[in-house]
Structure 1
Amino acid sequence: MTRHHLRTASVIGLVAAAGLALTGCSQGEQADGGDQSVHIVASTTQVADFTRNVVGDTGAEITQIVQPNQSAHDIELTAADSAAIEGADAVIVNGVDLDHIVSDAAASDKVIDTSTGITLQAGEEEDEAGEASEGEGHDHGAEDPHIWTAPENARQMVQNIADGLARTDPDHADAYQDNAQAYEARLDALDQWITTSFEPVAPDDRKFVSTHDAFGYFVKAYDITQDDSVLGSLDDHAEPSEAELQQLVAKIEATGVKAVFAEASVDPKVADRIAQESGVRLYSGDDALYGDSLGTEGSDGATYIDATVHNVTLIGQSWGLDLTAPEL
């Protein structure tokens, strides 16, 4: 081989080696997390929905722990969940001890608690004297964690998410804040629609009875009287005995209301019998309210706004209102 050919081969070899080195570097960066997208874990369905609205098209990746129609009270982390939490840049939680299993698994400096700045209410498991009630249901502790049910609180949760992500990912801080403001405007419009929709019903006639204690913040926000006598009566998802069913019917009759809202998991046969014997309409199944969880894609409760419109429409219907869903 001539010296010219040797020199040419050497140059080609150097170029090829450089190309391989660059390729290897690129692959190594991706394998080692060189992917510059922000990785976020969101605990509940509501928190995940808020987070998606704040993130927008920034490219951040979101892992949602609680899935649609699953209760946030029964979170069990899978190996994949734990790995996602460990590798996350931010872990966004509801707070108020609802999803502590998620925040406990994360580094404290990664956690964004959406309950920050929200005035909390006493949990339903305690009475006015601070003593535990005898009702069944989830043990919420001293404070009610269902903060999202009032749109005003949802607004604060969204802002907390935007502020937290802006600290985590300063490069997209403006986008997070702009997205949050746009979504908060929709929440403000939702709040106004609810207020206007309920105006025809006098506050004294705004009575609400549910077998689940997820709506404390909602009823307070809209001057609704909630009768707690049947709370937890069907929350354990077990079919009530004949004696328990008759006690429940008696409690419902004593409230004087025309409708009772139950969880979606209540057996339709049980719901029908309760309704027939008590003379009230029992909203359950597809007509149940979205409380602890949002619904699946395509359902009436696929997003927080959709779920809230669904709930308000049914509550209004129980008071004789015929509401039209707003364009938000």
Structure 2
Amino acid sequence: MVAVFTRRASLALSLFAAAALSGCAAFESDRSGIVVTTNILGDITQNIVGDQAEVTVLMQADADPHSFGVSAQQAASLEQAELLVHNGLGLEEGVIGHVEAAVASGVPALAVGEGVDPIDYTADATAGQPDPHFWTDPVRVRDAVDLIADQVIEQVSGVDAERIRANADEYAAQIDELHEHTTELFDRIPQERRKLVTNHHVFGYLAERYDFAIIGAVIPSGTTLASPSASDLKDLADAVAESGVPVVFADSSQPDLLVRAMAEETDVDIEIVPLFTESLTRPGEGAGTYLEMARSNAESIAEGLGDE
């Protein structure tokens, strides 16, 4: 509890300092709207804001949050925003410089991941580093809704606070339903089959929330920008063979050649199941919203690991 309080207190102080700097800027009145870095947070924020303010999302559908970049015009929009919402915890590697520049210029910024009781990676080269993939845990997303709503009300001029609160409550209720549905699905998976192998370390929060064991990842890192060595693949193949894992989950937007290469090392029949892990898709392609993405993943995991 102390650690959580400290993180949230630090987050609040950072926002206060940014707001104070913004208030001192001569061009504060020129700021407008909300800019969000990732499309997952963009969808969450848009559900909270509704028609109360303009929300600009920088990351396109099917992009990689670790590597996506922004145009000069988008970079400029960061420094003109009334509120910048970003994931934090090292996720947005391709735009962190622009985020830091906006904060330095006085833009109030909310690093959502830092305010939802983040955990650290526990395996491979990333062990001990903060894990940014909090959205795989609906309970933490529920907390994120309150954080975002609070800052929209505090930082964005002209919004109706009651409307923002009502939007946030309505959306939070849908997330609560998602959590209940996910719990019911996962409760059907026998304990001995509650084991995850993924293309990279992205499901730590899900594993903690729903009591899964993470056997390993094809890319032994928390970022898709890393690459595995031959020995990494061999070590994981050995672990998979020993554990009897029947399924490897790969991101739907990334080639599964490495996953298949690893599977070929095990001398057992392993199914490759695609999941939507780090980006929303275009509407109608399976993960057009956060709720659709999370529900689809839960159903795919439950089907892949359920009794044969």
Coarse TM-score class (shorter-chain normalised): 0.7 to 0.9
Specify whether residues 229 and 261 from structure 1 end up closer, same or farther in structure 2 by C-alpha distance, changes over 3 A only: closer
- 2:297 corresponds to 1:297: no
Specify whether residues 109 and 321 from structure 1 end up closer, same or farther in structure 2 by C-alpha distance, changes over 3 A only: farther
Q: Could you say what secondary structure the match of 1:226 adopts?
A: strand
Q: Tell me which amino acid in the other structure corresponds to 1:79.
A: A
Specify whether residues 244 and 160 from structure 1 end up closer, same or farther in structure 2 by C-alpha distance, changes over 3 A only: closer
Contact 1:263-1:288 within 8 A present in 2 as well: yes
- 2:304 corresponds to 1:318: yes
CA offsets per residue over residues 9-64 of structure 1, 9 Å max, x none? Answer: xxxxxxxxxxxxxxxxxxxxxxx9999x9511101111101011011122x22211
* 1:130 corresponds to: none
Q: Tell me which amino acid in the other structure corresponds to 2:112.
A: T
Q: Tell me which amino acid in the other structure corresponds to 1:74.
A: S
- 2:93 corresponds to 1:106: no
Q: Could you say what secondary structure the match of 1:178 adopts?
A: helix
Contact 1:237-1:266 within 8 A present in 2 as well: no
Q: Measure the CA separation in 1 of the matches of 2:28 and 2:159.
A: 17
Q: Could you say what secondary structure the match of 2:184 adopts?
A: helix
CA offsets per residue over residues 237-289 of structure 1, 9 Å max, x none? Answer: 87987x87666544432331101112335545665565466433343xxx421
Higher mean alpha-carbon deviation, 180-189 vs 229-238, is at 229-238
Specify whether residues 256 and 304 from structure 1 end up closer, same or farther in structure 2 by C-alpha distance, changes over 3 A only: same
Q: Measure the CA separation in 1 of the matches of 2:73 and 2:294.
A: 31
Higher mean alpha-carbon deviation, 101-110 vs 113-122, is at 101-110
Q: Could you say what secondary structure the match of 1:221 adopts?
A: helix
* 1:223 corresponds to: 211
Across the aligned residues of Structure 1 and Structure 2, the Cα RMSD in angstroms comes to 3.2
Q: Tell me which amino acid in the other structure corresponds to 1:172.
A: D
Contact 1:54-1:180 within 8 A present in 2 as well: yes
Q: Percent identity?
A: 28
Q: Provide the TM-score with structure 1 as the length reference.
A: 0.73
Of 113, 117, 120, 1:119 maps to: 117
Structure 2: 5+ residue runs without aligned partners? 1-26
Of 133, 149, 154, 2:141 maps to: 154
Contact 1:82-1:105 within 8 A present in 2 as well: no
Q: Tell me which amino acid in the other structure corresponds to 2:85.
A: I
Structure 1: 5+ residue runs without aligned partners? 1-31, 128-132, 323-328
Q: Tell me which amino acid in the other structure corresponds to 2:288.
A: A
Higher mean alpha-carbon deviation, 248-257 vs 178-187, is at 248-257
Q: Measure the CA separation in 1 of the matches of 2:187 and 2:77.
A: 46
Question: Could you list the runs of 4 or more consecutive aligned residues of structure 1 that deviate by over 4 angstroms after TM superposition?
Answer: 32-35, 233-241, 243-248, 268-277
Q: Could you say what secondary structure the match of 1:112 adopts?
A: strand
Of 131, 134, 142, 2:129 maps to: 142
Higher RCO, Cα 8 Å, sep 6+: 2
- 2:87 corresponds to 1:91: no
Contact 1:120-1:147 within 8 A present in 2 as well: yes
Q: Could you say what secondary structure the match of 1:209 adopts?
A: strand
Contact 1:68-1:293 within 8 A present in 2 as well: yes
Contact 1:90-1:111 within 8 A present in 2 as well: yes
Specify whether residues 237 and 68 from structure 1 end up closer, same or farther in structure 2 by C-alpha distance, changes over 3 A only: farther
- 2:172 corresponds to 1:184: yes
Contact 2:193-2:245 within 8 A present in 1 as well: no
Q: Measure the CA separation in 1 of the matches of 2:164 and 2:307.
A: 38
* 2:243 corresponds to: 255
Contact 1:150-1:218 within 8 A present in 2 as well: yes
Contact 1:151-1:190 within 8 A present in 2 as well: yes
State the structure with more CA Rg: 1
Instruction: Give 1:215 shift.
Output: 0.8
Q: Tell me which amino acid in the other structure corresponds to 2:136.
A: T
Q: Tell me which amino acid in the other structure corresponds to 2:42.
A: A
* 1:163 corresponds to: 150
Contact 2:220-2:232 within 8 A present in 1 as well: no
Specify whether residues 176 and 38 from structure 1 end up closer, same or farther in structure 2 by C-alpha distance, changes over 3 A only: farther
Q: Tell me which amino acid in the other structure corresponds to 1:219.
A: A
Q: Could you say what secondary structure the match of 2:298 adopts?
A: helix
Contact 2:196-2:248 within 8 A present in 1 as well: yes
